[in-house]
Amino acid sequence: MEVGAYVPVALFLFAVIALVFAPLMTWVERKQSALMQDRIGANRADILGIKAIGLLHPIADAIKMITKEDTVPDGGDRLLHTLAPIIATVPAMISFAVIPYGGSYQAWGAEWDLVVADLDYGVLYIFAVASLATYGNVLAGWASNNNWGMLGGIRVAAQMISYEVAMGVSAVGVFMIFGTLRLTDMGFAQQETFRLLGFVEHLGWVGAGTWWVELIKIPMWGIFLQPLAFFLFLTALMAENKRAPFDIPEGESEIIAGYFIEYSGMKFGLFYMGEWVEVVVISGLMTAMFLGGWSIPYLPDDVLVEFLRHGVGLNMANVLAMIAHVATFFLKVIVLIWFQQLIRWSVPRFRYDQVMNLGWKILLPLSLANIVITGLGILIIGEIMN
């Protein structure tokens, strides 16, 4: 497929992520926290009396942000002050490029791969690009000519370095299981199921095809194969996202607002937008790596297409399967977004030393142990299978 064919796919993705999810996140954030705290939440913005359960608030927010005065502090670096929010936001947006939100489909002679860039080193690309966002935050703190801003920027750098180690190491277990860094291959691999008690048969304790061995089948999702890595990776990613409970760089009670203290208007809004897009990216990445990506559990792609083609023909069957898979993917993403918001509004924020302790003394050793356990497990299972 030549490059031009990616354009509509990329545009669709950009539309969904930047124009639907990010503004909706402001609504989700307000409404979900309200429901969790027995409140009602934002519901006042209306157009001609239509309130639409507060869904118009993102529009009101955007108008407010854009029309506000945009100030650069005296002594601040005007160029870097303007560039910093862009540097902080763009990586979050482009890192969605490698996350597949559907499989591969043939319809009317064309092949549809529902991923913008199917890179060999997919996950590494996300790690690399996501850490670029740190520069935006550090530059924002430095260009503000403000001590609190500077402290916030330094804290961003410290926290990102601490948690990137744990993040990278905890993902290694998943790479070992699936034997790939390419997220589409992980997605295809996770369509399979495995028998939880299969080892009993392979050890020769019972005969082949015993009914209770065949009964318990589990999808080969990352969360079932690597449950520890799931929690470690999610924790590290949430710390990377630097929202509460890991909002050390913002530290409202200590350094007021941290790196974006001197920002106003849409430049201020861009930092928040970047964080919200990051929440979506985290959910997409977790879905692709741990929750089976686009696949519907117990229903592999080819079986689904085979089932659908009886009524409507192969082409339409492929299209229908594609729609079902995209819907499944975004459903999983929405569940993960909900879970992240649940954590964000439940867990009290950590102190600075607690964040560092958690990163270096708990997450890193545990993720190293996870690699050893995974390696041993692969060895032992390989022995049993033979």
Partner 1 sequence: MPGKVVRVRRRERLGLAQRLYLPNIFVGLYVTARHFFRNLWGYIVGRKRTFVVQYPEEQVDYPDAFRGHPVLVALENGEPKCVACGLCEFACPTDCITIIPEETDAAIERYPREFDIDMSRCMFCGLCEEACPEEAIVMSRSVELATYEREPMLLHKKDLLRTEEQLGRRIDYMREEYAR
Binding site for partner 1 (CB under 8 A): 32, 35-40, 231, 342-343, 345-347
Minimum separation from the CB atom of position 244 to partner 1 (A):
13
Q: How many CB atoms lie within 10 A of CB 266?
A: 16
- With respect to partner 1, which residue has the nearer C-beta, 373 or 378? 373
- With respect to partner 1, which residue has the nearer C-beta, 35 or 128? 35
Cβ atoms of 181 and 123 within 8 Å: the answer is yes
List the structure tokens of 30.
Answer: 């307000």
- With respect to partner 1, which residue has the nearer C-beta, 75 or 348? 348
Minimum separation from the CB atom of position 346 to partner 1 (A):
4
d(CA 129, CA 127): 6
d(CA 199, CA 197): 5
d(CA 137, CA 85): 7
d(CA 285, CA 334): 12
Minimum separation from the CB atom of position 226 to partner 1 (A):
17
Q: Which stretches of 205-313 are DSSP H helices? A: 211-215, 222-225, 227-240, 252-255, 265-290, 301-312
d(CA 168, CA 158): 16
Minimum separation from the CB atom of position 52 to partner 1 (A):
14
Minimum separation from the CB atom of position 280 to partner 1 (A):
20
- With respect to partner 1, which residue has the nearer C-beta, 241 or 318? 241
- With respect to partner 1, which residue has the nearer C-beta, 38 or 353? 38
Minimum separation from the CB atom of position 160 to partner 1 (A):
22
Q: How many CB atoms lie within 10 A of CB 5?
A: 12
Minimum separation from the CB atom of position 25 to partner 1 (A):
16
Which residues sit opposite 111 in a β-bridge? 106
- Quick one: CA torsion of 161, 165, 170, 173, rounded to 10 degrees? 140
- With respect to partner 1, which residue has the nearer C-beta, 20 or 342? 342
- With respect to partner 1, which residue has the nearer C-beta, 36 or 110? 36
Q: Helix, strand, or coil here: 101?
A: coil
- With respect to partner 1, which residue has the nearer C-beta, 147 or 354? 354
Q: Is the dihedral of CA 47, 52, 56, 57 positive or negative?
A: positive
d(CA 365, CA 313): 53
- With respect to partner 1, which residue has the nearer C-beta, 144 or 283? 283
Minimum separation from the CB atom of position 339 to partner 1 (A):
9
List the structure tokens of 149.
Answer: 């801003």
Cβ atoms of 344 and 30 within 8 Å: the answer is no
Minimum separation from the CB atom of position 51 to partner 1 (A):
11
d(CA 374, CA 176): 8
Give the H or E element holding residue 353: helix 352-357
Minimum separation from the CB atom of position 359 to partner 1 (A):
14
The DSSP secondary-structure symbol of 347 reads S
Cβ atoms of 112 and 297 within 8 Å: the answer is no
- With respect to partner 1, which residue has the nearer C-beta, 39 or 78? 39
List the structure tokens of 1.
Answer: 């497929």
